[in-house]
Amino acid sequence: MEHLTLSVRYEQALVFALHLHRQQYRKGTGIPYFTHLMAVSEMVLEDGGNEDEAIAALLHDAVEDQGGESTLQEIKQRFGENVAAIVDGCTDTYQTPKPPWRERKEKYIQHLQSASESVKRVALADKLHNSRTILSTYRQIGEATWMRFNGGKTGTLWYYRTLVNVFREIHTSPMLEDFTKVVDELERLVEKNK
């Protein structure tokens, strides 16, 4: 088994991501958003991702949440074309204000089908961590969970089930089995609580 040694670039990306997202929190919580970025990067590395993919995982929401095109240019300058391309591929909009939620999500799903393997790996890790968080929150607070999401209950459940189906067609990864199980469990609990 080959060992991946993370370079100083990864350390710099950690600091940069923390700087960008320092004032941001997970939806409806006091949990620093940075924890999500670290979790996604960890999943990418555990899935066999390379350093560029792990760095992109740390920065996957930077463009969308922290500055748009100028942030992408800064990522390209600091971490290179490949990292910037992965981050770009994980970004569902550059527009402010953002287009309607459903429209953005449909375009993102369509885009994933022709995305690079690196974008698919980072996107799957992101969606897996998000779905785990949603499931955990649902177990704690039930139906109030959906108030945190622009898509509400119906849209959020549609989005994650559609993502499972699309990833099953376009990507292979041990993360996919976990993602499927989490979404299945979330749907089961929601149905049980009707």
Q: How many domains does the chain divide into?
A: 1
What pLDDT shows up at residue 169?
A: 94
Is-contact 81 37, C-beta < 8 A? Answer: no
What pLDDT shows up at residue 24?
A: 65
Q: Does residue 96 belong to any structural domain of this protein?
A: yes
Tell me the catalytic residues. Answer: 64-65
The amino acid sitting at 139 is R
Classify 7 as helix, strand or coil: coil
Q: What is the full per-residue pLDDT of the chain (194 aa) written as tens digits?
A: 678 889 999 999 999 999 888 886 777 777 788 899 999 999 999 999 999 999 999 999 887 777 778 889 999 999 999 999 999 999 888 877 888 999 999 999 999 999 999 999 999 999 999 999 999 999 999 999 999 898 999 999 999 999 999 999 998 899 999 999 999 999 999 999 87
What CATH number does residue 84 fall under? 1.10.3210.10
What pLDDT shows up at residue 1?
A: 60
Q: Does residue 2 belong to any structural domain of this protein?
A: no
Q: Could you tell me the pTM of the whole model?
A: 0.93
What pLDDT shows up at residue 98?
A: 81
Q: What is the pLDDT of residues 16-34, one digit of tens each?
A: 999 888 886 777 777 788 8
151 secondary structure, DSSP code? T
Residue 50 lies in domain: 8-192
Is-contact 168 121, C-beta < 8 A? Answer: no
Q: Does residue 48 belong to any structural domain of this protein?
A: yes
Q: Is the Cα torsion angle 111, 134, 175, 188 positive or negative in sign?
A: negative
Q: What is the pLDDT of residues 155-185, one digit of tens each?
A: 999 999 999 999 999 988 999 999 999 999 9
The torsion angles phi and psi of 110, rounded to 5 degrees, stand at: -65, -40
